[in-house]
Structure 1
Amino acid sequence: MIEWPEGLVPYKMDWGRVFNNRAFTSTFSKSQQIRTYPGAYFQCSLQFRNLFEADERKLTTFIGQLQGMAGTFKLYPWRRARAQDAGTARVNGNGNASGTLPTRGWKKSTLVLRAGDYITVNDQLLEVLLDVTSNTQGNATIQVSPWLRTPPSDGTEINYTRPYAVMRLASDEQAQSVEPLIAGGTLDCREAF
C-alpha cells in the first residue's frame, strides 16, 4: 500500500458512498421492498488543476507506482481531520460485521467522537453516525456507516486521529492535461477490499 504524496492536495474532491442494496418491485402494485447487504464502499474523484512541475511530477510518479488499478493507497479525508487526543481506543471484545462497534480505552466520561468524524478499523474507513461519549470505565459504543466488512478482533486499534481509506484507481487508463507552465487531471478512485 502506497502513502498519498506529501503536499499534493486536489483542487476539488467529489466524495461519496455506494451502498449495496437491492430493490424488489411488485409488478402489480409497484410497491417496493429493499434488502440491504454488507459491501458498501467509498468512491471519489480527485481533480487537480494549476499544478506546477514539482506537483505534476508527484502526481505522475504516484500513478506510476500504483500501476493502474493494481496498486492501493491511503487517502486521508482532508476536511474532517482530527488531532484531539481522547485516549488509546481499541475494539472491546470480538466485534461483528455490522454498524455497531463496541470500544474501550477512551478518556473516562468524555465526548470522544462527534457525528461525522471518521475512524479507521482494519483498514476500513468508517463514518461515525452519532456523538459518542465514553462511560466511567472509558468504554463506548460507536454507530458507524458503512457496516464493518470484517469483524475486528478484541484489542484492534481504532485510528481516530488520522483516519484513512484504502483506495485504488477505478481505471487503468490515466492521462493529464499538460499546458506550457501548468498541468491538471482527474483521478477516479474506489475503496479497495
Structure 2
Amino acid sequence: MKIPQATTKRLSLYYRFLQHFANAGKERVSSKELSEAMKIDSATIRRDFSYFGALGRKGYGYDVPYLLRFFRETLDQDVETNVALVGAGNLGSAFLKYNFHKNHNTKIVVAFDNHAPIDGEIISGIPVFHPDRMEELLPNYDVEIAILTVPSRSAQEMADRLAELGIKGIMNFTPVRISVRDDVRVHTIDLSVELQTLIYFIKNDGKIEE
C-alpha cells in the first residue's frame, strides 16, 4: 500500500513525541493523548497508523516502547545519513552551527560556498570548500542528500551539478522551483511563503477547516 505524502511527513513527529512519552516513563499512550500533545486530530493519527498494520489494541492504546522501535526502524534512525550543504551564507551557517546529528540521524559532513577558499576552511567543525571543487570532493563523503541555500540565480545550476554527482534528494531553501531528473527528489521550503501562510491562518483563525 502506498503511504500518503502527508502521512510520511508526520512520521518523524510521531517518533519525536513518542520519545517524549518514553522519557516521561509512559508505557502506553492513547491516540487522544498523542492528539493533545501533537495538536493533530486523533482520527488522523489512527488513520496514519493504520497504513502500517495493527500498531495498537482497542481499549489499550499503543505500546510506547514498541512504537518507538517500529518508527526507529521505519525511519532508519539507527543508520546515520550524511548530508552536504551548498551555500554557507546566513541560513547555511545556521545549519552548520546546529547540525542535525545531535538530535537526529542526519549529519552535515561537508559544505560548499562561493566565499570559501579553494583549499577549504573549517566552520563549526565542518569542512567548507569552494564550489569549483564540488565535483572533485563531494564523492569522497558518501552523500546522497544535499541542502541548497544558495542565491536564487544559482539554484538550478547547483541542483543540476548535484544530480550529476549522484545526489538522490535535495532540500531546496530557495524560492526557485528547480527541475531535476525523475530519480532525484526535491523538497522546497520557501520561508517567505510559509510566513505568509502563517499570517493568513492567524488572521482567518476559525474560518478555515484544516
TM-score scaled by structure 1? 0.29
Higher helix share: 2
